[in-house]
Amino acid sequence: MKKVYNRILSVVGNVITVRAEGIAYGELAEISTRRGKSLAQVIKLDGDIVSLQVFAGSRGVSTSDEVRFLGHPMRVSFSENMLGRIFNGSGEPRDGGAAITEDVIPIAGPSVNPAKRIIPKRMIRTNIPMIDVFNSLVASQKLPIFSVSGEPYNELLARIALQAEVDMIILGGIGLKFDQYMYFRNVLEEGGALNRSIFFIHTASEPTVEGLMVPDLCLAVAEKFALKGKEVLVLLTDMTNFSDALKEIAITMEQVPSNRGYPGDLYSQLAARYEKAVDFDTAGAITILAVTTMPGDDVTHPVPDNTGYITEGQFYLRNGRIEPFGSLSRLKQQVNEDTREDHRAIMDGMIQLYAQYMESEEKRSMGFRMSAWDQKLLRYGKAFESRMMDLSVNIPLEEALDRGWTIMAECFEPHETGMRSDLISQFWPENGNTAAVSPDSAEESMVRSGKKSEPDSKKSSAKRKPAAKKKQAGPKKSSKKTDRSQARTKQAADSGND
């Protein structure tokens, strides 16, 4: 019993109104225009006046176009056949393959009961020290990369996606540039991950509102797979485009904006998506990594600001590096207790010293004479930047911790570091404070000479592939993940020792 209407009363922005009865809030309709068909969703009911948001945009919509109500809210199919496939912002194939219509599920379903959540405990190793040591990523975490256009945020996403041990990757592109879309496709293909990936891609050339459904589509599918025991990593890029689409609709609906034109419910809208990240104790998990580009590089802009309040930390990507300040993993303390006993101390201590370095560096740049202490800090800061922060550094956590002690020993007396004495006696390198040749000198020289030059990055990625294979050979499917991560930790520790 589908209702068809032929009289569109108004077209304002991407919202149209029709007069209709018996329509449900949130219901979907299909509009046939001279440009083709588009989905639209009921966003307001006022008597018999129904407002619909048209996903393909209102351009070319005529008052006599046909509006057919579908009698159900937005849905998406969910099946194993979706693996390796690419869909658009309405959930239709964009790879030329057949449409998938089996097992439809509603999107934007109810939220998980907090009482059913568990404390996340499984670290996702990335071999990026700025993540593993200082801001550990944890399964079921929701975490954005704060950045500005031009930074390699999509590259970072792709690298983490390939390196992380997950069963599935779901990529949601919102306003994604075509070349970035192709980049993801190619990288995941080369990494052999395409057949465990699903893409929902809305590109920059398509109407903004069509990107609005992408996060919900990705997360609805992710949720189903997670309930079936899969470890799912959802990548969303770029959530600022998503927020801008929300803003556009809000303005069309004449809502009073709260801040720079964004609607007052931006926080709740973003939270509804990010809170889908979860670890089901008897099944799989959803981890969300998103990109939030900061307009004007301003973290107080409503989109990064609201995001930061919602997510479990953020990675600041600036000048091609993950910044120690501002970057945060709120879940790190759940996992860094059981890695190695010096992990937390290194994590805080090295950042505190780096903060002092920044001050000395500021004084230096203003031309002040550097005290002996300043000199030490300067030396430390440089070493920290090149041997820890640089994204080309690709080493396991344990090696990074050892490297932390080495760097400190090269630059300071033990007591100057503020580290606890028991840790110092245990971890301070024997031949400390001599800038002796350290075990990681091979990598160091690699990083020191010509940062990020081509051969280097090849070398590091070559290094990491066998490791990933080795892990896969392990007890991949063991159901209790804590065991798995412990095994992983142990494995890495072993390899770190030899």
Partner 1 sequence: MNKTTGVITGINGNMITVSFEGSVTQNEVGFAVRGDERLKSEVIRIQNNQAFLQVFEDTRELKVGDTVEFTDELLSVQLGPGLLGQIYDGLQNPLPELAEKFGFFLPRGVIMDALRPEQNEWEFTPLVRKGDRIKAGHALGTVPEGEFTHLIMVPFDFQGDFTVQNIVEKGKYRVNDPVVKIKGERNQTHELSMTFDWPVKLPITAYRRKLLPTEPMITKVRIIDTFFPVAKGGTYCIPGPFGAGKTVLQQITSRYAEVDIVIIAACGERAGEIVETMREFPKLTDPRTGKSLMERTIIIANTSSMPVAAREASVYTATTLGEYYRQMGLNVLLLADSTSRWAQAMREVSGRLEEIPGEEAFPAYLESRIAEFYERSGVVELYNGSTGSLTIGGTVSPAGGNFEEPVTQATLKVVGAFHGLSRDRSNARRYPAIDPLESWSKYSSVVDKKIIDDANRFLQKGSEVHQMMMVIGEEGTSVEDFIIYLKSEFLDAVYLQQNAFDKVDAATSPERQKYVSALIDDILNHDFEFESKDEARKYFYELRQKFIDWNYLKMDSEDFKKQEQSILTMIKGLNRDEKGV
Ligand X SMILES: Nc1ncnc2c1ncn2[C@@H]1O[C@H](COP(=O)(O)OP(=O)(O)O)[C@@H](O)[C@H]1O
Q: Which residue is nearest to ligand X (CB)?
A: 330
* Residue closer to partner 1, measured from CB, 66 or 275: 275
Give the interface segment with partner 1, choosing from 25-33, 77-85, 93-101, 159-167 (CB under 8 A): 25-33
Structure tokens at 13: 């922005």
- What secondary structure letter does DSSP report for 388? I
Q: Which string of x and - marks every residue 299-328 that binds ligand X (by CB under 6 A)? A: -----------------------------x
**333 interacts with ligand X by CB under 6 A:** yes
Alpha helix (H) residue ranges in 201-301:
214-227, 239-252, 266-274
**478 interacts with ligand X by CB under 6 A:** no
- The single residue among 35, 92, 195, 368 that binds partner 1, judged by CB under 8 A, is 368
CA distance 206 to 99: 20
**330 interacts with ligand X by CB under 6 A:** yes
- What secondary structure letter does DSSP report for 69? E
> Do residues 305 and 135 lie in contact, with contact meaning Cβ atoms separated by under 8 Å?
no
- Pick what 22 binds: ligand X, partner 1, none; C-beta below 5 to 8 Å, kind-dependent: partner 1
Residues 6+ apart with CB under 8 A from 268: none
- Residues 375-434 touching partner 1, rule: CB under 8 A, are 415-416, 418, 420-421
**363 interacts with ligand X by CB under 6 A:** no
* Residue closer to ligand X, measured from CB, 332 or 340: 332
**373 interacts with partner 1 by CB under 8 A:** yes
* Residue closer to ligand X, measured from CB, 4 or 119: 119
**62 interacts with ligand X by CB under 6 A:** no
Shortest distance (Å) from residue 26 CB to ligand X: 32
- Pick what 109 binds: ligand X, partner 1, none; C-beta below 5 to 8 Å, kind-dependent: partner 1
Q: Which of 277, 226, 285, 311 lies closest to 111, judged by CA?
A: 277
E strand or H helix at 401: helix 397-411
CA distances from 356 to 184, 364, 454, 475, 476 (A): 39, 12, 33, 44, 43
* Residue closer to partner 1, measured from CB, 352 or 426: 352
- The single residue among 268, 453, 478, 482 that binds partner 1, judged by CB under 8 A, is 268
CA distance 475 to 473: 7
> Do residues 248 and 14 lie in contact, with contact meaning Cβ atoms separated by under 8 Å?
yes
User: CA angle, corner 407, sides to 403 and 409, nearest 5?
Assistant: 115
Structure tokens at 103: 């097992």
* Residue closer to partner 1, measured from CB, 305 or 338: 305
- The single residue among 7, 59, 117, 463 that binds partner 1, judged by CB under 8 A, is 117
* Residue closer to ligand X, measured from CB, 328 or 383: 328
Residues in the chain: 498
**231 interacts with partner 1 by CB under 8 A:** no
- Pick what 454 binds: partner 1, ligand X, none; C-beta below 5 to 8 Å, kind-dependent: none
Taking the CA of residue 99 as centre, how many other CA atoms within 13 Å lie in the half-sphere pointing to its CB? 7
- Judged by the rule CB under 6 A, the positions of this chain that interact with ligand X are 328, 330, 332-333
